[in-house]
Structure 1
Amino acid sequence: MSIRAIDEAPLTTFHRKLTVACAGGPFLDGYLLSIIGVALIGMSNELNLSAGDEGLIGAAALVGIFVGGLFGGVLTDRLGREAMYTIDLMVLVGVSVLSVFAGESWQFVVLRFVLGVAVGADYPIATSLLAEWVPNRHRGRLLGILILAWYVGAAAAYVVGYVMAEIGGAGAWRWMLASGAVLSAVVLLMRIGTPESPLWLVNKGRTADAQKSIERALGRTVPIDDLLAASAAEQSMAQHRFRDLFQGAYLRRTLFCGLFYMCQITPMFALYTFGPAILGSFGLGEGNASNLGSALISIVFVAGCIPALRLVDRVGRRPVIVWSFALMAIPLAVLGGGDSLPIAVVIVCFCAYALLSGGPTVLEWTYPNELFPTGIRATAGGVATSISRIGAAAGTLLLPISLSRLGIGTTMLIGAGITLLGWLVSLAWAEETRGRTLAETSAVPVGSRRPSAADEKRGADLRESDLERS
């Protein structure tokens, strides 16, 4: 059952502020993960870092994101969205501050790992909180804005890194890391005071708290009977656990969310690496100017997300993701021509892929939040993130090997193949969730799962407890 006061509410100042605060996390993620790449140049010279040290520092964050996504969602479903929403940012602030004063390679490896854990955890935290607060008709667009913020953060990091390197030279790397600490503190202040998700409160049987949360955020008084009914509906269902993600209908949804995310992000990471070489033909591929080139790459990917934000709520999730994957494979297949292609064709194909990738990109966090119930919503988002990072890590590790041994043409054809796999996964498993309540989108097919006697007894006990407290 859903809460009509939320599902049918008009878009308010609260929703806009919450979207900005939630987007602060992905913005920081893009910023913090990108600024280290710029800072490493000065760090390597001053701290005499080896190539192995640089590789470990870069890989530590990816490993951390995998761990954070896997366990951050579980904690969010158990402890609540509001608590994890601020704890996560406190960790980011602390790690960013400590990074400014670190002086040994192992210290950076440890700090980048912890930062990655916080980054990976923030994905399911912020997205589940926003998904459970926004009206149905705006949910796809507002959740898509969060992933858009990641690219904006990455672009900002390269611009800030460029400016600081121009002003302070190689020794400015500590100021670059300090900028991340300042931005993290700003986002933390924005998040303080955010009310808890009413759906999570209802799921835990805390109907009175849910009523207060809605009154505080939306200025609406929801009859306690409506919330009791919603609580009864939640509690009468089987109580979902981590293992449920890998059983029955939820297994298919878990595979869908994780695989399409991985198939989207793996070639994208490859083009992020290949992009500066393309832009090098315009004189933006060497020295500090390469940071501006990297910023331009992020901006092109942002441009692709903007039309997709409108289409997911107007046309629907399924047609957007299916057609996007199908069209994304075309420019990658053309790039399979390799070095013999004219530079103009290469640039056009690169831009076409970046623009067309907006569809799957804005749905990376929408689908996991819509296809799973409240009890495991954040957990599902975290698992999808972790699966995607396997592809990101593999792409980052194997791309240089593929380029040297197979060549750029074959490497791009492999990317096209991965993209076609994403199309097949979407064609087979993508569901249409546009305009429906979270209760409707997360429901499994009738007869695929039934509550046990213990589940029904627990639901009855909780309903009785709700009535006593009310």
Structure 2
Amino acid sequence: MAMTPVTDGPDASPQATAARERARLHLRLKAATQIGQGLDGYVIGGIGVAMSALTADLGLSTLEQGLVGASPLIGIFFGGPFFGWCADRFGRRPVFMVDMLIFLVVSILQFFVADGAQLFVIRLVMGLAIGGEYAVGAPLLSEYAPSKGRGRLLSTLEISWYAGYALATVVGAVFASVDGGWRWSLSSGAVLALVCILLRGGVPESARWLLSRGRTNEAQVLIDRYGIEVDADAELADGVAKPGFRALFSRAHLRATVFASVFWAALVLPYFAIGSFWGEVFEALRMGDNAVAALLLYSFTAVAGVSLGCLVVDRIGRRKLLIPPFWITAAALALVALFPDVTPVVVGGFLFFIFLNAASSALTAVYPLEVFPTSLRTTGVGFAAAMSRVGAAIGTFLLPMGLEHFGASFVLLLGAGVLAIGGVVSHFLAPETTDMDLAHSARTVH
């Protein structure tokens, strides 16, 4: 039985009121979630610009550079599953506020670090908060989104990630000539966190989550108020009494867990590793002496790519946006690795990789949410986010040492191999979930 908004006879005013309430909620929730998603990109982009300056100021070794670059990704490994479990067990709304409060505090603390160890710990905690954001932000937005057009709505979150990355690059470039400017650029994320906290006040609990926990009366109040259409029977049937990690590896959900984790990790590992140490890659490929300008080009090409992904995600379907770009981007990185002295190949290959990789990454805010039931959604998304950042953290940690000992071509060939693995796994496991109700899309991977 589908639960639909209650109206009073021929009077359409309750429907109109619900539509206005829904529009306001969607706007507030979308803005609050987009800023949260953008903060992850802001953290990664900011360290890419600041790394050279803070390395000189703090006297970091190559090992310490790798640890500082990878620390938020390591934090996500723990924060995603933990906060995801909390959001499935206790509700979306509390986690939605707590993770951003943590981010606000640690962003400010970056300004006062005295050595690499302090910066590592602070950015590790920052990663915990980002993990919570991945686990709860997009799932909460998806649970209030209509089935039709849900892909475009959710994929715009990835635009925010790349926009945050690009904004951090610009802010870092502005402070690059200032003595100790990296402190200002890294801690500036606190401003975005404060705005996000203000937007999140008053956001209601997820009606779908309430249904999955058997709290039908509370869910019906929200359904009536916001005019939500939801298959209540499916949500109730897919509920898990005690959500936890064990359920992710049950026969019913193992396929979804493997797919969401592997495709996400394969997409982001090359991008994070290369982006965090773009200056070093740029220098290793002997591409000139203006690494900041190259990083800006890198960032804005990614924004263009993810924007295209958002436009086509509901038109061509999830599988077509994911699988072919895996193979094309793998070939692009391989060409750059094999012909590092041919400037057109290097520039064209990198731009092609960045553009298509970003286009496919629009799905990281869509696919994981659609393959898990509501009762396990944030646990599953948090775990998949953690697995994606494990690979990204390993790549970010090892890249500077790989460049030093083996050179850029070897590193890029490894990146191409990771993308190829993503293509194979997605070919066999990726379902088509376009325009399906969330409760139904989760059943396509059983």
TM-score (norm 2): 0.87
Q: What is the alpha-carbon distance in structure 2 between the residues aligned to residue 273 and residue 60 of structure 1?
A: 12
- Show the 5 A alignment for 1:36-115: 36-115=47-126
Conservation of the 8 A alpha-carbon contact between 1:207 and 1:227:
no
- Show the 5 A alignment for 1:272-283: 272=275, 275-276=278-279
Output the amino acid matched with 2:208.
L
Alignment match, 1:207? 216
Conservation of the 8 A alpha-carbon contact between 1:155 and 1:296:
no
Conservation of the 8 A alpha-carbon contact between 1:338 and 1:410:
no
Alignment match, 2:333? 332
- Show the 5 A alignment for 1:115-130: 115-130=126-141
- Show the 5 A alignment for 1:28-427: 28-166=39-177, 169-216=178-225, 218=226, 220=227, 232-235=236-239, 240-272=243-275, 275-276=278-279, 286=289, 290-340=291-341, 342-427=342-427
Output the amino acid matched with 1:173.
W
SS of the residue corresponding to residue 195 of structure 1 reads: coil
CA deviations 1:168-211 (Å, max 9, x no partner) are: x2222332234121221111111111111100111122223223
Q: What is the alpha-carbon distance in structure 1 between the residues aligned to residue 23 and residue 339 of structure 2?
A: 50
Q: What is the alpha-carbon distance in structure 1 between the residues aligned to residue 232 and residue 153 of structure 2?
A: 28
Q: What is the alpha-carbon distance in structure 2 between the residues aligned to residue 405 and residue 43 of structure 1?
A: 23
Output the amino acid matched with 2:355.
L
Q: CA 1:329–1:46 in structure 2 vs 1: closer, same or farther (change >3 Å)?
A: closer
SS of the residue corresponding to residue 12 of structure 1 reads: helix
Output the amino acid matched with 1:208.
N
Conservation of the 8 A alpha-carbon contact between 1:57 and 1:105:
yes
CA deviations 1:342-396 (Å, max 9, x no partner) are: 2012111111111221343011131111011111100111111111112112222
SS of the residue corresponding to residue 137 of structure 1 reads: coil
Alignment match, 1:441? 441
Alignment match, 1:15? 26
Q: CA 1:14–1:255 in structure 2 vs 1: closer, same or farther (change >3 Å)?
A: same
Q: What is the alpha-carbon distance in structure 1 between the residues aligned to residue 308 and residue 299 of structure 2?
A: 16
Q: What is the alpha-carbon distance in structure 1 between the residues aligned to residue 120 and residue 418 of structure 2?
A: 31
Q: Following TM superposition, by how much is the alpha carbon of 1:91 offset from its aligned partner in structure 2, in angstroms?
A: 0.6
Output the amino acid matched with 1:250.
H
Q: CA 1:96–1:274 in structure 2 vs 1: closer, same or farther (change >3 Å)?
A: closer
Instruction: Return the index of the structure with the highest Cα Rg.
Output: 1
Report the count of equivalent residues: 434
Q: What is the alpha-carbon distance in structure 1 between the residues aligned to residue 66 and residue 254 of structure 2?
A: 35
CA deviations 1:39-88 (Å, max 9, x no partner) are: 45454455555555444333322211111112121111112111110111
Q: Following TM superposition, by how much is the alpha carbon of 1:134 offset from its aligned partner in structure 2, in angstroms?
A: 0.5
SS of the residue corresponding to residue 339 of structure 1 reads: coil
Q: CA 1:271–1:3 in structure 2 vs 1: closer, same or farther (change >3 Å)?
A: farther
Q: What is the alpha-carbon distance in structure 2 between the residues aligned to residue 411 and residue 101 of structure 1?
A: 34
Alignment match, 1:460? none
Q: CA 1:41–1:336 in structure 2 vs 1: closer, same or farther (change >3 Å)?
A: closer
Query: Which ranges of structure 2 fall in alignment gaps of 5 or more residues?
Result: 7-17
Query: Which ranges of structure 1 fall in alignment gaps of 5 or more residues?
Result: 449-470
